[in-house]
Amino acid sequence: MLPTVVVTILWSLATPVQSADPVKVSVYYETLCPDSARFMTTQLYPVWSDLKDIITLDVNCFGIANYTANGDGYDFVCQHGPGECEGNKMVTCAKEYTADEDKFMAFSNCIMERFVGTEAGPECAEESGVDYGQVESCYTSVEGQQLLQKVGEKQNALDPALYYVPWILINDVFTDEQLDEAQEDLRKVVCDAYQGIKPIGCRT
């Protein structure tokens, strides 16, 4: 009969380690912002692609903008003009109608890489497998306005209030230092925040 200590060690080795909670990464951005494009394409998308198993993603396309009610819908004024408002609606509608997060993120990354707003919609949808017909029907209608307003309302509730994009929170917490670090090395920020055994993507 094995000693109790040996049995305990063997049992612990055979028992899978409980995984930790994923790291929530919240990002508020806008489609024609150069800083947003750089962050999305060089940080968020590649890091999420490698570490999606330990990330809960919360992406919100609104940015430095405002809205006013107009009948059943809303009028928007965006930092980089009307084309950005349309792009923000398009991405918001894509999020609403694309259940597959891989496809939505590929679409969003493509839009930010092309950096021409809705002009890239059909091409990026084809590349990522997103149903562009459904997305276009949404963002060109009152539905798209209503969905974007909800994103703006969510953003307006942030504390502290957004003053820059991309605006990045980790586990619902914002600090200026974390914002700066996440824009330069999001992988390190996520891996440092994860309390479980670090996946191989954290050692890349």
In a domain, 168, yes or no: yes
> Which pLDDT tens digit goes with each residue over 123-134?
999 999 999 999
Supply the pLDDT for residue 13. 42
Supply the pLDDT for residue 11. 39
> Which pLDDT tens digit goes with each residue over 7-32?
344 434 433 344 799 999 999 999 99
pTM score, whole prediction: 0.89
Mean pLDDT per 10-residue segment, the chain (204 residues) = 44 49 98 98 98 98 98 98 98 98 98 98 98 98 98 98 98 98 98 96 85
In a domain, 82, yes or no: yes
In a domain, 131, yes or no: yes
Q: What percent of the chain has pLDDT over 90?
A: 90
Q: What percent of the chain has pLDDT over 70?
A: 91
In a domain, 199, yes or no: no
Domain extent for 48: 34-194
Give the count of domains, the chain: 1
Three-class DSSP labels, the chain: CCCHHHHHHHHHHHCCCCCCCCEEEEEEECCCCHHHHHHHHHHHHHHHHHHHHHEEEEEEECCCEEEEEECCEEEEEECCCHHHHHHHHHHHHHHHHCCCHHHHHHHHHHHHHHCCHHHHHHHHHHHHCCCHHHHHHHHCCHHHHHHHHHHHHHHHCCCCCCCCCCEEEECCECCHHHHHHHHHHHHHHHHHHCCCCCCHHHHC
